[in-house]
Amino acid sequence: MRYLPHTSENIASMLQKVGVKNLDELFSTIPEDCRRKDDLNLPEPMSEWELNDHMNTLAGTMAVSPEYKVFLGAGSYDHYIPEAIKHLLMRSEVYTAYTPYQPEISQGTLQTIYEYQTLITRLLGMEVANASMYDGASGLAEALLMAIRITRRKKVAVSNAIHPLYRRVVQTYFAPTGYEIVEIPYLANGRTDISALDNLEELAAVAVQSPNFFGCIEDLKNIGEKAHSDKKTLFVTCFTEPLAYGLLKSPGSLEADIVCGEGQSLGVPRSFGGPGLGIFASLNKYVRNMPGRLIGQTVDKDGKRGFVLTLATREQHIRREKATSNICSNEGLCATTATMYMASLGGTGFRELAGLNRDKAEYLKGEMKNAGFTISFDSPTFNEFVVESPAGFETTYKKLLKRKIVAGLPLAPYYPELDDHYLFCVTETSSKEDMDALIKEVTS
Amino acid sequence: MKELVGTTGLIFNEPLLWEKGAKGRIGFSLPRRDVDPCPLDDELKGDGPDFPDLSEQDVVRHFTRLSQWNFGVDSGMYPLGSCTMKYNPKTNERQASLPGFAGAHPLLPAELSQGVLKIMFDLEQYLAEITGLPAVTLQPAAGSHGELTGMMIINAYHKAKGETRSKVLIPDTAHGTNPASAALCGFKSILVKSNDQGILSPETISEVMDEDTAGIMVTNPNTLGLFEENIKKVADIVHSKGGLVYGDGANMNAVMGIVNVKKLGVDVLHLNLHKTFSTPHGGGGPGSGPICVTEELERFLPVPRVIEKDGKYELSEDYPESIGKIHAFYGNFGVKLKAYSYILSMGANLKKVSQLAVLSANYIKESLKGVFHLPYDKPCMHECVFTDKNQEANKVSTLDIAKRLMEYGFHPPTIYFPLVVHGALMIEPTETESKEDIDHFIETMKAIADEAKKNPELLLEAPKISKVRRLDEIAAARKPCLCG
């Protein structure tokens, strides 16, 4: 086997040094009744070439572009990834390294993540960002737990227009400790109904998503002010599409205390939902309550600039049960990817690409309206929007799947009241031609 | 001794991203604009992020230079204990980048995503076969995420029985994440000391285990690289008081095909696919931390679960007692795919993997035991733990040994862990290092021990040939500078 370099001579001389007769004897400390008697029942090993064929076949069953036109977003977005990034990620000094515990020989990882932290704070208008969380959903759960730690309160208010799968993850994280989650409804315009906050007291946090699950851009300024009417309450905002902040005001400029979300859009392939990138940012005054790793700048013995893992006293390996989180491995390579992506676009490109996403989505929105769909919510949107379909669309939807078009995400499984509603997403990868073809299909 | 592996080459300085570039440059090919611009309310509109503008070559050169300041498994031996830094097969990267997988949207209808569902279904079966525990979830995104999920399941199990238990037993040889994971589930950690043999005694467990204790979290083999020989008795005691046994499977590379984890009495076990199953660590993730459970606990596993019906795969939410979701979608599919490729490449050779990993660790232990202090002189599993006790007289510590190793071209072992051993050097060679490279490592360690006696300055001043020298970590923490 090409990954196992030991020849039989090697094995014999090593066994001799160890002082045992055979490989089985190495396991003498394992009691007999703990051992397995039978061989592993696994498929016969495949050669590299057999594996390629096998995987090609499985990959071939998947509905992906360009063969399929997939108008799906909902937390996972199709964006172009420059070839340069794919090539850089093949630098195996980067992807075969462990967490940078030995800074002298890990400066590549450390400087990159320091750059990541910096670009994220600039994108979100925040003061400090960590080295990443698992994904947007667990990031939101950790943000709310952080607010609970800071305020010593036990109740959070969460907008119902936050991604429904994120809310389910929050529920799972909260279940063992019994912290309370109050859901705030959404309005007919698709934005969060902040008047529901009027009757709530002692909140650790108010959490909203913008653009929200329906694609609607929330009025963060208003919600932030309302949340902060109680000085102790923290304003938590999350997102699934960070590209939106190329165009929109940053949450940091609108009084957010903690900002978290999914960074898959920043150059990370969708890969059936993971790995993604949990982005997490906050204010300096809360840094010691933040979960996750942080990279800091310092100097070496000769006074030269360098970077290290820092503020580790918050973390599990030092603080053990008093740690701010149990997170250890995060999504380092995805944070690296995001850094390369943000650097490739630059401020100028990021804004242009964001604009293009919105303009294309607006085009399809207009065309769908003309085709007899109702635009469900009239709030401004970024690259996603909800439509209510004309009668009989369910059949058309199934027919379109056969024609290799995925015409949005049916919302009924997530919001029973939104029967016949579909969430559409358009990014820079959809051409006008693709959208016109979709309209032609739905009207024919 | 052979020629040193570590040497100096042409290494470039490289500024921070925002110290480069010029406004108006771009390193991205913007798609053609084929629709009209649509204005947005000024009230919502921001100024756009203050990112540096760079050309494609600027970006490529920047990150190429940075990569050269890193040490990876592909650069040299990386004997980082408990991290299983084995070779990361290149074919796995190829499979994960196939457009059908990399481009797949997670909410595609099941009939359009049969390939990925089959991979998840089969991988669960393989992991069940390897561990002996029959039910598996692939949803946790890393080892500690798996621990958290496992502890949530233990919590749900007691709740379902109408009980609230407040404590969890955690041995002093456990991974640091264990107490933190237990705390997130509201459990108080009770520290259990290992005995003079470096393993758990049933007597100690009997003393602390009671009906307010939800269970125990055991790392086996433990972080001293020793097999917990009393594990079955320990498990029996915990079970007799109604508790459950959580197994930290980070060290599974020692016992594949050798041990049946279920027979040990373990109820929940997490695996680190980025350790045992060869997926790259990426400089800090993404990992993947599936958990394997007994039949009894299957009903609590996270949803959705992949099921098979008449040869077709689908996702099912129909598990009313499930703890719920712990990841937005299904965990790190791209990582699982690489572990799946690895298992298909290895088959039953996985037993050989464990045998050779354990052989290599014992070989290092026997070769260095006169030179470095070995606190537990007994057969080890896939890693061995030395200390700096023999070097104390020369005022040289574990840290200095680690830093000097870099100059010889090796990544240092895990240092100062486990905490039960003072000045620990935890060495895990893995099965993918050849005897020549292991011999070279042993020779180097001996040479360093010799230097410690004759010329300790060499160790104290190391490393001198790396991109930077020892860094001021105290200043970094005292006055944090976390963004530029």
Q: Check: CB of residue B101 under 8 Å from CB of residue B117.
A: no
Residues within 8 A of B (CB atoms), A 295-324 only: 295-302, 304-308, 310-313, 316-323
**Buried/exposed B394-423: b ≥16 CB within 10 Å, e otherwise:** bebbbbbbbbbbbbbbbbbbbbbbbebbeb
Looking at the structure, tell me whether residues A329 and A383 fall in a common domain: no
Quick check: is B55 in a domain?
A: no
B66: number of Cβ within 10 Å: 26
pLDDT digits (tens, 9 = 90+) for B468-477: 999 999 999 9
CB A42 within 8 A of CB B129: yes
Q: Does B291 touch chain A (CB under 8 A)?
A: no
For residue B276, the cross-strand partners are none
**Same domain (yes/no): B354, B429:** yes
A298 and A359, same domain (yes or no): no
Partner A, chain B 301-320, Cβ-Cβ below 8 Å = 302
**Residue A340: closest CA among chain B residues belongs to which residue?**
B59
Does residue B252 sit in the same domain as residue B170?
yes
Residue A442 in tokens = 């739905």
- 3-state SS class at A322: helix
- Please give the Cα distance from A112 to B16 (Å, whole number): 9
Strand pairing of A180-184 and A305-310? Answer: unpaired
Encoded amino acid at A431, one letter: S
Question: For chain A, how far is it from start to end, CA to CA, in angstroms?
Answer: 57
Q: Would A8 be classed as within a structural domain?
A: no
Are B460 and B396 contacting, i.e. CB atoms less than 8 angstroms apart? yes
- A21 inside domain: no
Mean pLDDT, residues B302-319 taken together: 97
The residue from B306, B330, B347 where one domain ends is B347
Same domain, B158 and B255: yes
Among B332, B347, B362, the domain-final residue is B347
Q: Are residues A412 and A438 in the same domain?
A: yes
**In a domain? residue A382:** yes
CATH number at residue B459: 3.90.1150.10
Instruction: Test A245 with B280 for CB contact under 8 angstroms.
Output: no
B2 pLDDT more than 80: no
Query: Is A198 inside a domain boundary?
Result: yes
- Point out the domain boundary residue: B326, B347, B368: B347
Which of B183, B146, B83 has its CA nearest to residue B411? B83
* A399 phi and psi angles, rounded to 5 deg: -65, -40
Cα separation, A210 vs B291, whole angstroms? 33
Same domain, residue pair B316 and B185: yes
> Do B386 and B308 sit in the same domain of this protein?
no
Asked if B116 is an interface residue toward chain A (Cβ–Cβ < 8 A), one would say yes
In single-letter form, the type of residue at position A438 comes to L
Question: What residues of chain A lie within 8 A of the CB of B283, using their CB?
Answer: 94-95, 97-100, 106, 108-109, 112-113, 332-333, 336
Q: Are residues A258 and A179 in the same domain?
A: yes
**Which of B7, B482, B280, B229 is CA-nearest to residue A288?**
B482
As separate numbers, helices (DSSP H) first and strands (DSSP E) second, chain A gives 12, 15
pLDDT tens by residue, B356-410: 999 999 999 999 999 999 999 999 999 999 999 999 999 999 999 999 999 999 9
Dihedral angle, C-alpha B187, B190, B191, B193, nearest 10 °: -140
Same domain for A102 and A237? yes
Count the neighbouring beta carbons within 10 Å of the beta carbon of residue A49: 9
Q: Radius of gyration (Cα) for chain A, nearest Å?
A: 25
Residues of B in contact with A70 (CB under 8 A): 105, 108
**Inside any domain, residue B100:** yes
Q: Is the pLDDT of residue B8 over 90?
A: no
Q: Which domain covers residue B195, as residue numbers?
A: 93-347
Give the contacts of A382 (CB within 8 A, at least 6 positions apart). A211, A215, A217, A241, A243, A244, A247, A248, A354, A357, A358, A361
Provide CB contacts within 8 A for B348, sequence distance 6+: A39, A40, A41, A42, A45, B257
Which of A287, A311, A341 terminates a domain? The answer is A341
Does residue B2 fall inside a structural domain?
no
Q: Is residue A20 part of a domain?
A: no
pLDDT for B5 equals: 77
Q: How far apart are CA B412 and CA B426, in angstroms?
A: 9
CATH code: domain of residue A394: 3.90.1150.10
- Locate B401 and state its tokens: 């040994």
Give the number of domains in chain A.
2
Q: Rounded CA gap, A322 and B176, in Å?
A: 11
Residue B1 has pLDDT above 70, yes or no: no
Interchain CB distance below 8 Å, B259 and A34: yes
Q: What is chain B's mean pLDDT, rounded?
A: 96
B15 — contact with chain A (CB < 8 Å)? no
Structure tokens at B454: 């004759």
Give φ, ψ of A69 to 5 degrees. -105, 110
Please provide the DSSP assignment of B290-354 as one string.
-EEE-GGGGGGS-S-EEEEETTEEEEE---TT----SSSSSS-HHHHHHHHHHHHHHGGGHHHHH
Please give the Cα distance from B414 to B467 (Å, whole number).
21
Whether residues A420 and A301 fall in one domain = no
Where among A312, A341, A370 does a domain terminate? A341
A267 and A304 both lie in a single domain = yes
- For residue B360, how far is the Cα from the chain centroid? 20
Distance, first Cα to last Cα, chain B = 45
Q: Tell me, yes or no, whether B216 and B150 share the same domain.
A: yes
Q: Are B295 and B216 in the same domain?
A: yes
- Is B82 within a domain? no
The Cα–Cα gap between B231 and B161 comes to 25
Q: Are A114 and A128 in contact (CB under 8 A)?
A: no
Cβ–Cβ of A63/B184 closer than 8 Å?
Answer: no
Domain count, chain B: 2
Backbone angles phi, psi at B379, to 5 degrees: -60, 135
**CA B288 – CA B144 distance, rounded (Å):** 9
Q: Which two tokens stand for residue B151?
A: 């502890």
Whether residue A12 is contained in a domain is answered as: no
> Does residue B48 form part of some domain?
no
Residues of A with CB below 8 A from B21's CB?
A: 346
Minimum Cα–Cα distance from B94: chain A residue: A52
Residue A378 and residue B404: Cα distance in Å, rounded? 65
User: How many residues are listed for chain B in this entry?
Assistant: 484
Residues in A touching B106 (Cβ below 8 Å): 75-76, 270, 272-274
**Residue B120's closest CA among B322, B278, B340, B323?**
B340
SS3 A424: strand
| Mean pLDDT value of segment B41-68 | 97
Residue A144 touches chain B, beta carbons under 8 Å: no
Where in the sequence is the domain holding A74, given as residue range(s)?
Answer: 69-82+349-443
Do the chains contact at A104 and B98, CB–CB below 8 Å?
no
- Give DSSP secondary structure letters for A383-401: SEEEEEPPTTHHHHHHHHH
In a shared domain, residues A108 and A249: yes
Enter the tokens of residue B451: 């230097």
Work out the average pLDDT over B271-277. 97
The Cα–Cα gap between A110 and A100 comes to 7
> Same domain, yes or no, for A281 and A396?
no
The upper half-sphere exposure of residue A89, i.e. CA atoms within 13 Å in the direction of its Cβ, equals 26
**Sequence-ordered list of residues with C-beta below 8 angstroms from that of A178, at least 6 positions apart, any chain:** B186
Residue B203 shares a structural domain with residue B334: yes
Check whether residue B417 and residue B460 sit in a common domain.
yes
Q: Are residues B174 and B186 in the same domain?
A: yes
Q: Which two tokens stand for residue A422?
A: 């579909």
Q: Over pLDDT 90: what percentage of chain B?
A: 96
The answer to whether residues A299 and A358 belong to one domain is: no
Query: How confident is the model over B2-28, as a mean pLDDT?
Result: 90
In a domain, A49, yes or no: no
Query: Same domain, yes or no, for A314 and A438?
Result: no
Cβ contacts of B40 on chain A, cutoff 8 Å: 247, 358, 380
Nearest CA to A168 out of A186, A148, A183 is that of: A183
Per-10-residue mean pLDDT of chain A, 444 residues long, equals 97 98 97 95 98 98 95 98 98 97 98 98 98 98 97 98 98 95 98 95 98 98 97 98 98 98 98 98 97 97 97 79 87 98 98 98 98 97 97 94 97 97 98 97 88
Question: Has residue B59 been placed in a domain?
Answer: no
Q: Touching check for B369 and chain A: CB below 8 Å?
A: no
A-B contacts (CB, under 8 Å): 699
Complex ipTM tops 0.90:
yes
Q: Are residues B314 and B432 in the same domain?
A: no
Chain A residues in contact with B263 by the CB 8 A cut-off are: 33-36
Nearest to A62 among B85, B115, B189 (CB): B115
Range list of β-strands (E), B75-172: 135-137, 167-171
In single-letter form, the type of residue at position A409 comes to L
Tell me, rounded to whole angstroms, the distance of Cα B219 from its chain centroid: 13
Nearest chain A residue (CA) to B61: A88
CA distances (Å), B203 to each of B187, B194, B195, B200, in order?
A: 23, 11, 10, 9
Contact with chain B for residue A394, Cβ under 8 A: no
Claim to verify: residue A294 and residue A334 sit in the same structural domain: yes
Element (H, E) at A96: none
Supply the CATH number for residue B323's domain. 3.40.640.10
Closest CA to B132 of A96, A40, A127, A176: A40
C-beta of residue B274 within 8 angstroms of C-beta of residue A331: no
Residues B410 and B270 grouped into a single domain: no
Query: Residue type at A406?
Result: V
